[in-house]
Amino acid sequence: MHVGSHLTTLKIASGKIIVNITRIFNKLINLRCFPHTVNLACKAVIAALARSDYGSTTGDHTDPISTLRALVRAVRALSLRRQHFSEICEKYDLDLQLLCDVDTRWSSTLYMIERALHLEKPLDDICSSEEFQDLEKFKLSSEEWDGLAAAREILMVPEAFQQKLSAEKTPTLCNVLPAFDTMVSVWNELQESMDEPYFDIIQAGIDKLDAYHNRAELVPAYMISMCELSFLIIPQMIY
């Protein structure tokens, strides 16, 4: 019984040690994937746009993206509205359909904005249409359209880098991490070129990327991937 008791204690102790080692190991190797981190950064940008002074508009509008989303859903909801919108698009020689975003994919918000900017005149027309006066509350002002154009410019930066890395057959950490630095650099340039309200909006995304980068620097995989292993010499085999 005495020996058995000791064995039981050792098993419990060794189990706890293994659990603790596993937790430490997971912290050392745990590194979020590039798309997930970019998703967090872009969602932070979109949320910052809604919180900005620019975003606090009058009436039923909250921010340009939310207003656009509501307008797109309203137009797509009824067949008569869709048909009327298609007829308006034909008048402008545009053969395009509205796109609605989904909450789980930030890039879908970019695509929705980009498509809407191409369809700005038809959207303005249907909001001013006598047939659908209930859509007038969704009519975007020129300032809000400018805000959507700025949002597109900001979101096109991570989109370009994500597409580039997605094209790689085997994405590597040594390519992903420099992409973060370059993305932050491009966003910094945008901060200098765009109006003041957008500085803080872009900064919200940069802060997310910086948090990832700071965490990545603590992961051994990061240090290994960024090292130039020039000290490794493979000796020539002599037969």
Judged by average pLDDT, the poorest of 47-61, 97-111, 153-167, 201-215 is: 47-61
Q: Quickly tell me which residue has 């912290």 as its tokens.
A: 27
Going from N- to C-terminal start, the domains of the chain cover 58-140
pLDDT of 66 above 80: yes
Phi and psi based region of residue 129 (left: phi greater than 0; alpha: psi -120 to 50; beta: remaining): beta
pLDDT of residue 151: 94
Q: Give the pLDDT mean for 208-212.
A: 85
CB atoms within 10 A of CB 32: 13
| Cα 239 to Cα 237: distance, rounded to the nearest angstrom | 6
Task: Single out the residue of 144, 150, 149 nearest to residue 58, CA to CA.
Answer: 144
pLDDT higher for 49 or 92? Answer: 92
pLDDT of residue 50: 82
As a 3-state breakdown, the chain gives helix, strand, coil percent values, each rounded to 5, of: 70, 0, 25
Pairwise CA distance, residues 12 & 7, whole Å: 9
**111 alpha-carbon distance from chain centroid:** 12
Question: Which residue did the predictor score with more confidence, 27 or 148?
Answer: 148
Q: SS3 for 102? A: strand
With contact defined as beta carbons under 8 Å apart, do 171 and 34 qualify?
yes
More confidently predicted of 150 and 173: 150
Asked whether the predicted pLDDT for residue 234 surpasses 80, the reply is no
Cβ(202)–Cβ(187) under 8 Å?
A: yes
Average pLDDT over residues 159-170: 74
Return the SS3 of 40: helix
Q: How far apart, in whole angstroms, are the C-alpha atoms of residue 151 and residue 198? A: 9
What is the predicted pLDDT for the residue at 176? 72
Closest CA to 101 of 160, 43, 187: 43
Report the SS3 class of residue 205. helix
- 204's CB contacts (< 8 A; 6+ apart) are 44, 45, 47, 48
2 class by beta-carbon count within 10 Å (0-12 exposed, 13-18 middle, 19+ buried) = exposed
190 vs 45: CA distance, rounded Å: 13
**Residue 157 pLDDT greater than 50, yes or no:** yes
pLDDT band at 228 (very low <50, low <70, confident <90, very high): very low
Bridge partners for 81 per DSSP: none
Q: How many residues does the chain have?
A: 239
